[in-house]
Amino acid sequence: MAKTLVWFRQDLRVRDNPALYHAAKAGDVIGIYIEAKLQRQQHNESPAKVGLIYDSLLELRKELNNLNIPLHIRTCDYFGDQLDLIQQMVKDNNITALYFNNEYPINELERDEQLVKWLEDQGVEVHRYDGDLALEPGLVKNKQGDPYKVFTPYKKSWIEKHKTAPVEPLLPPESQSCYINKQETENFSAEYRDDLWAAGETAAHKQLKKFLSDVEDYRDKRDIPSVAGTSFLSPYLAIGAISSKQCIHALLEHYEGDEAKLYGDTWFSELVWREFYRQILIDKPALTKHKAFNQDAKEVWTDNRDAFEAWKDGKTGFPIIDAAMRQLNQTGWMHNRLRMNTAMFLNKLCLVDWRWGEKYFMQTLIDGDFASNNGGWQWCSSTGADGAPYFRIMSPLSQSKRFDPEGEFIRKLVPELKGLDKKSIHNPTTEQRKDLGYPEPVIDYKESRKRALELLS
Ligand SMILES: Cc1cc2nc3c(=O)[nH]c(=O)nc-3n(C[C@H](O)[C@H](O)[C@H](O)COP(=O)(O)OP(=O)(O)OC[C@H]3O[C@@H](n4cnc5c(N)ncnc54)[C@H](O)[C@@H]3O)c2cc1C
């Protein structure tokens, strides 16, 4: 019987996990996960995400052990050390084949290439899959065979490919005959809001089920930060406790197989945005080197550290922006509309380099994901693929009145303003600010907007 090793990375699930599924078909499986602690810090990923990963691994281990598959949880410093550990594992256990699901940022790709070379030299088979995407990378191309740079035609073409692609998620592997005598565990747990996100695959599916029971309301509720109108699945998708393929398939089942309903669904579209940004990263790995997608875009940023600090702390004097940043700081998650508002505020109104904001988001978000975060920031700063036009600058005041009309969200996150009426809560008077200990606006909105338009045009 062949002995296979599955290297878990951003795919912490037993269901719809191609590497695990195929490895178990080929032979007895050993699973390993290796946390590269310093590398993760270098990639600016948050302690919250690390905490969720660790707890999700413990859940994954339970699921795997039920199938007689052991899971070793190891730690090291850098990607290079991960390779040493894998090589040791291969030698110690006479592994004949390694299975893993691909990751697309450049350091990960280079690491994997190095490993594949070593394994091939040793005569060990390597099997790689694309479990992080619902459609294989490279499948969706324009008529010239080039990758799409604009979302709408990408989505149209994505749907055409999806109609003919296998859409059924994979089942969990069958129970193994191997005997688990030892599983190494190196603890790397970190704090996160486990009251908001229960760890693991089962919790992710529970959340999906709960969300789908109200999915018809998503279109109307998704822009209102005071209501729980979105799925809250991003942390699970980011660590692979659930796959986008599973989400799309569950949505299709919700619509009883009606493809027209699936493809016309607003939530489905968001999942395709996730695929779009991944495809952009796969086609342009230089994005991981802090490059703008659109090299011709104007980059006119200033060294406005005061504004940046106020923004990070949720003390800009713009209630909706401060509420959003405090939501991020307190929970590790921020509502999508507010991600756009806070990003445009920092970048276009304060003229702070979008890379600073991108980094702070990564350092704080529990769902920090390079492709989606970079895509979101470059969209907002108009430097990205299909970015917002340069003159699109969301006004914090209008957005606040429109999407938090009663000031409910602000009241919850900026408690010093909770006694204000629904009109003044969006922009308190100087007197009210003084009385309540709330700062004056860190920028003059009208002047800042004018300056941004002049500089960016
Ligand atoms: C500046 C900025 C930074 C962002 N950084 C991240 C990030 O680090 N990680 C992350 O997962 N998302 C990021 N997003 C996208 C989006 O804000 C979150 O995915 C969403 O808010 C997560 O909440 P949810 O799971 O309830 O989303 P839902 O609305 O329920 O959407 C379902 C899923 O679709 C995907 N999705 C939704 N919107 C987008 C989008 N605009 N781009 C890509 N995928 C999307 C996510 O995987 C999400 O979980 C960012 C957006 C912006 C504007």
What is the per-residue pLDDT across 202-250, written as a single tens digit (0 to 9) for each? Answer: 999 999 999 999 999 999 999 999 999 999 999 999 999 999 999 999 9
Measured by CA distance, the residue closest to atom 24 of ligand 1 is 232
- Asked if 161 and 69 sit in the same domain, the reply is no
Q: Write down how long the chain is.
A: 457
List pLDDT tens digits, range 284-318.
988 888 899 998 888 899 999 999 999 999 999 99
- Asked if 220 and 159 sit in the same domain, the reply is yes
List pLDDT tens digits, range 3-38.
999 999 999 999 999 999 999 999 999 999 999 999
CATH number of the domain that 154 lies in?
1.25.40.80
Given a cut of 80, whether residue 178 has pLDDT beyond it is no
Given a cut of 80, whether residue 179 has pLDDT beyond it is no
List pLDDT tens digits, range 414-430.
999 999 999 999 999 99
Measured by CA distance, the residue closest to atom 29 of ligand 1 is 230
Question: Mean pLDDT for the chain?
Answer: 96
The residues that are catalytic are 270, 273, 301, 336, 354, 377
Measured by CA distance, the residue closest to atom 33 of ligand 1 is 271
Q: Which domain holds residue 98?
A: 2-129
Quote the ligand 1 centre to 243 CA distance (angstroms): 14
CA distance 219 to 392: 22
Pocket of ligand 1 contains residue 347 by CB under 6 Å: no
- Of the residues 227, 250, 283, which one is the last residue of a structural domain? 283
CA distance 282 to 370: 12
Domain count, the chain: 3
Non-local CB neighbours of 139 within 8 Å, separated by 6+ positions: 161, 165
Atom of ligand 1 nearest to the CA of 277: 43
CATH number of the domain that 32 lies in?
3.40.50.620
- Asked if 124 and 216 sit in the same domain, the reply is no
Predicted local confidence at residue 2, as pLDDT: 83
Measured by CA distance, the residue closest to atom 47 of ligand 1 is 234
Predicted local confidence at residue 388, as pLDDT: 87
Quote the ligand 1 centre to 337 CA distance (angstroms): 10
Quote the ligand 1 centre to 222 CA distance (angstroms): 12
Burial class of 159 by CB neighbour count within 10 A (0 to 12, 13 to 18, 19+): middle
Helix (H, G, I), strand (E, B) or coil at 243: coil
Atom of ligand 1 nearest to the CA of 335: 21
Pocket of ligand 1 contains residue 381 by CB under 6 Å: no
Q: Which of 133, 276, 335, 336 to mutate to test the pocket of ligand 1 (most atoms within 8 A of CB)?
A: 336
Quote the ligand 1 centre to 419 CA distance (angstroms): 32
Please indicate, yes or no, if residue 179 is contained in any of the structural domains: no
Pocket of ligand 1 contains residue 367 by CB under 6 Å: yes
Residue linked to tokens 């040791």: 88
- Of the residues 113, 129, 145, which one is the last residue of a structural domain? 129
List pLDDT tens digits, range 53-79.
999 999 999 999 999 999 999 999 999
CA distance 418 to 9: 43
Please indicate, yes or no, if residue 54 is contained in any of the structural domains: yes
Quote the ligand 1 centre to 368 CA distance (angstroms): 9
Pocket of ligand 1 contains residue 49 by CB under 6 Å: no
Q: In what order do the strands lie in the sheet with 71-76?
A: 71-76, 27-36, 2-8, 97-101, 125-129
Portion of the chain with pLDDT greater than 70, in percent: 100
Pocket of ligand 1 contains residue 89 by CB under 6 Å: no
Q: How large is the angle between the packed helices 354-364 and 370-380, nearest 10 degrees?
A: 150
